[in-house]
Structure 1
Amino acid sequence: MAPTAQQLFRRKPVPEMSLETGTDTGKSELVRSIGLFQLSMFGIGATIGTGIFFVLAQAVPVAGPAVIWSFVIAGVVAGLTAICYAELASAVPVSGSSYSYAYATLGELPAIGVAACLLLEYGVSAAAVAVGWSQYLNELFDNLFGFTIPDSLSQAPEQGGLFNLPAMILVLLCTLLLIRGASESAKTNAVMVLIKIGVLVLFIVLGLQGWNSDNLSDFTPFGISGITSAAGIIFFSYIGLDAVSTAGEEVKNPRRTLPMAILIALVTVTVLYILVSVVAVAAQPAAEFEDQEAGLSAILENVTGQTWPATVLAAGAVVSIFSVTLIVIYGQTRILFAMARDGMIPELFHKVNPRTHTPVQNTIIVAVVISLLAGLIPINFLAEMTSIGTLVAFLVVSIGVIVLRRTHPELPRGFRVPLFPLTPILSIAGCLWIIQDLRAVTIWVFLIWVAVALIWYFAYSFRHSHLGRHEHVGLIDDEGGPH
């Protein structure tokens, strides 16, 4: 019997989500151990990757010194979405991020489509980022010790190696941390984030010594179109703010903490990026940015006349990528955890270790898949796939804010989107504007990937859905029965 439209678009009631996760009772299957500072560090850590260290080489040749405005525009588009995340995270504070938001607002079938996007955003990007870590680690070893890991152990087979050992080791280290517990992972991440913020502040302070106003004289050589094109390139340096929303069930006082952490991360990242871009274009002529692989470290070498800044920035990139990989793998496991609780994927992903209060089997499976991708496949094209996956997830969140205001106006919200409905509408427009600039082949492969996810839905999820069976996988109350 074919499923009806009513079944395909059945929505999971938000009060039931809150009951399952103990949002208002304080009881949760996972331990609520993460505070505001650590959660803010999650958002900052997932966002500041290697992008800012190297994106200027692609963006300045397109916009000239006006790339400063490109950073502002990209920050505004990302900020509009982050503000929408802040409201939904405070209204639906669960682990599933935009998958759970879509389930509550748009229905089961769209939620599976969003889950496919999140698998691209988190799983594939973790592998791509781990491959990048291997390259920076080699650069750091070369600067410090004068040797590099041989290609046979640091490149994928397609690139002439056997496998990428450093990338696989990175995934293993992150996995061991995550299995120990969310609190330990959050503390380690906070230290790494403070280090990479310190590296960027060092660049700003030293780079100011090379300030030359002449470098800003021809400010907009490529006009408004150059500024907007560069904003599209830069936008992906802001991706990661949504990682905060995957921690919904391990946060103290989630209705207040989640939106606050998203906004703190947004402001911190945006201010750092704009200051870095201002200092960079004032310290070096725009023409010299083209094909400049070393990025920020080359600018500091020119300003200081010394080579040590390259070593410091390589170390900053190594720490940055470790932090990003840790949070991205964490986010992926929590999304799968929420999906398994709903019956969308096998129950194995929902099992929590009674000692560490972490989904250990889930984490190990995710780590094995990501390490194989990172060790054996060059991820250049898949890295672009993460972009479209993220943008579609952003789009759904912005739509979800509008829908939830209409369907559940009475829900308690720790934060409300200002200038509603203009803010989510502008966020939707911004995401569509960037998607239409992506390559056609990326969009086609993405559509095929979503089609595969929908086949999985009809083959497995539709029949196993707890909502469809009227089952409730929530917490057990003190009398031993379900809430």
Structure 2
Amino acid sequence: MAKLFAVKPLSALKNEAVEEGEHTLKRSLGPVNLITLGIGAIIGAGIFVLTGQAAALHAGPAVALSFIVAGITCAFAGLCYAEFASIIPIAGSAYTYGYATLGELVAWVIGWDLVLEYAFGAATVASGWSGYLVSFLEQIGLTPSPALARWTTTYGNTLYFLHGHWVSQAALPMGTPTAGLLKVHGIFDLIAFLAILAVTTILVIGIKESANLNSLIVFVKLAVVGIFLVLGIGFLMHHPHVASLNWHPFIPKSEGPGKYGFNGIVAGASSVFFAYIGFDAVSTAAQEARNPQRDMPIGILGSLVICTLLYIAVSLVLTGLVSYRSLDVADPVALGIDATGVAWGSLLVKIGAIFGLGTVMLVMLLGQSRVFFSMSRDGLLPKWASAIHPKFRTPWISNIVVGTIVAFLPALLPINKLSELVNMGTLLAFAIVSAGVWVLRVRMPDLERPFKTPLVPLVPILGVLSAVYLMANLPLLTWIVVLVWLVVGLLIYFNYSTKHSKVQRMQQQGAGQE
């Protein structure tokens, strides 16, 4: 039983961190790359989709408070991530940190959990990216023919042609008669499929190239968000009665569990947690940072602070422009900017969404392949997952295998409720990392820590409690799916990983020499 909780020695982790050569990941990222890597994942579905849904379904105008609650939870975890990343600057994120403090079984659980988080997160975003691209093409006059339209949505989904646009049945205005409308049945979302394959190709070519492309796109979409805020704030300053009407009441009266009131703010925080999954992905790139001890805390905390402030600002402006009850749509920010009367605004927002969601896919797939890489290096997964390309110095086989599997998910499956699944994975990772910092402080108080989490054990305890509290507010279906995924993972662990674990082998050799 003890071997299941074998801890990977920090000395072994530090040795991995200083390895050089063609079989190791290339250190090429600076603090700006790392901050934009985090922003690239965070500013995407959160601003362009989830803000409106959380306002309409849970918190009303108080969705700004939901982002503050979620941001505070992230801040506790972010401080703990920053300490671990400065001590153990290698790929793997929460998986590696759990291995170093809480043992192999816990590390496997969180690693397997992160695989679910990043895979379904990327698939969900790919579906959204496909929808925004089709909407953009229609707006500039490139409406797909019926023969092509069936290749822009998932199998079995029905699209209706209404007012020059292809609209899914769920998005049809209430009461719209469908008898006389042209319709097609989806076969395969080719756009989402090709989007994932394109991102996978970029990741195979190299982390530096991927990060530079991400940085460029991040600046583009931040400019788009900035324009939305400038136009929105300008409109509200000239029409204060609109904001006064839409923001009243700021916290709507409760209409049931998780719907408005204080409980709605917490439920909103749980639902928008998908918006924050990017900042922990920064830590998966630790082994590719030039100066990880200094730059990882800057990347993690910098991206978190910038994005939280942007989320609060966007949610306030959006709910000021449009009644929160009208925001349960796929493109709430476009709806908001339409309210300003700026004709080109909707087109600009769709361009920003296309760029924004593209970088989210990139960072999620990068994070997943790096977790695979670390688990394989430890013997918990087959060797192919840690094979490094001799020229590009990237885990290319892992990238290709993961990317190909993920590409089929949004292409074939009508994915619902996936953001809650991703939220569960993120929150579980946050709780384990927070607990791990406290455990390591107790076990190794004199360890050199380039960055120290303040107020230990208070901050780690608050990190664990806030994450568990938000997990408790997620739907029951989320818990069921995660538990089933966990059972599958444990079958793999006990039938393969325990027989190939390098840490368990080291322990057995050490015991044999005594």
Kept after mapping to 1: 8 A contact 2:23/2:390: no
Structure 2 CA distance for partners of 1:381 and 1:285, relative to 1, 3 Å: closer
Q: Which residue of 2 aligns with 1:181?
A: 206
- RMSD, matched Cα: 2.0
Match of 1:338 in 2: 374
Say whether the 8 Å CA contact 1:21–1:27 is kept in structure 2.
no
Q: 2-side partners of 1:53 and 1:371: how far apart? A: 22
Letter in 2 for 1:297: A
Whole-angstrom CA distance in 2 between matches of 1:56 and 1:467: 44
Residue 39 in structure 1 maps to residue 37 in structure 2 = no
- What TM-score comes out, normalization by structure 1 length? 0.92
CA distance 1:285–1:359, change in 2 (3 Å) = closer
Question: What residue identity is the alignment partner of 1:447?
Answer: L
Instruction: Give the structure 2 partner of residue 153 of structure 1.
Output: 151
- 1:39·1:244 contact (CA, 8 Å) conserved in 2? yes
- Contact 2:61–2:319 at 8 Å: present in 1 too? yes
> 1:376-395, aligned counterparts within 5 Å?
376-395=412-431
Per the alignment, in what secondary structure is the counterpart of residue 145 of structure 1?
coil
Equivalent in the alignment of 1:459: 495
Letter of the structure 2 residue corresponding to residue 443 of structure 1: W
Tell me the alpha carbon deviations over residues 231-289 of structure 1, each in whole angstroms, 9 at most, x when there is no partner. 22223222211000100111011111111110110111011111112222333344443
2:9 is aligned to 13
Q: How do residues 26-425 of structure 1 correspond to structure 2 at under 5 angstroms?
A: 29-61=24-56, 62-148=58-144, 150-159=148-157, 160-211=185-236, 212=240, 213-215=243-245, 216-222=247-253, 223-289=261-327, 291-303=328-340, 305-425=341-461
Q: Distance in 2 between matches of 1:40 and 1:333?
A: 20
Over the matched positions of the two proteins, sequence identity in percent amounts to: 39
Displacement of 1:26 in angstroms is 10
Secondary structure (helix, strand or coil) at the match of 1:238 reads helix
1:238 counterpart letter in structure 2: Y
SS at match of 1:411: coil
**Distance (Å, rounded) in 2 between the aligned partners of 1:239 and 1:471:** 35
SS in structure 1 at match of 2:451: coil
Q: CA deviation at 1:81?
A: 1.3
Q: Secondary structure of the equivalent of 1:467?
A: helix
Compute the displacement of 1:421 (Å): 1.1
CA contact (8 A) 2:267 2:474 kept: no
Query: Partners in 1 of 2:393 and 2:507 — Cα distance?
Result: 23
Per-residue deviation, 1:158 = 3.3
Deviates more, 1:117-126 or 1:217-226: 217-226
Shift of 1:312: 0.7
Matched position secondary structure for 1:344: coil
Q: Per the alignment, do residues 407 and 439 of structure 1 end up closer, same or farther by CA in structure 2, a change over 3 Å counting?
A: same
Contact map agreement 1:259 1:414 (CA 8 A) in 2:
no
Q: 1:210, 1:282 within 8 Å by CA — same for their partners in 2? A: no
Change over 3 Å in CA distance of 1:119–1:103 after alignment to 2: same
Aligned mates of 1:207, 1:392 — CA distance in 2: 36
Quickly say closer, same or farther: Cα 1:131–1:368, change in 2 above 3 A: same
Q: How many residues align?
A: 465
Q: Which residues of structure 2 form unaligned runs of 5+? A: 158-184, 254-260, 509-514
**1:286 and 1:46 mapped to 2: Cα distance?**
25
Paired amino acid for 2:29: I
Q: Deviations over 1:143-175 (max 9, x none)?
A: 122413733211222323221111111112112
**Which residue does 1:475 correspond to in 2?**
none
Instruction: Give the distance between the partners of 1:332 and 1:293, measured in 2 at CA.
Output: 26
Q: Deviations over 1:377-434 (max 9, x none)?
A: 2222444322212211111111111111112222222211112111111111111111
Segments of structure 1 that go 5 or more residues without pairing to the other structure are 473-483
| Paired residues of 1:94 and 1:247 also in contact (CA < 8 A) | yes
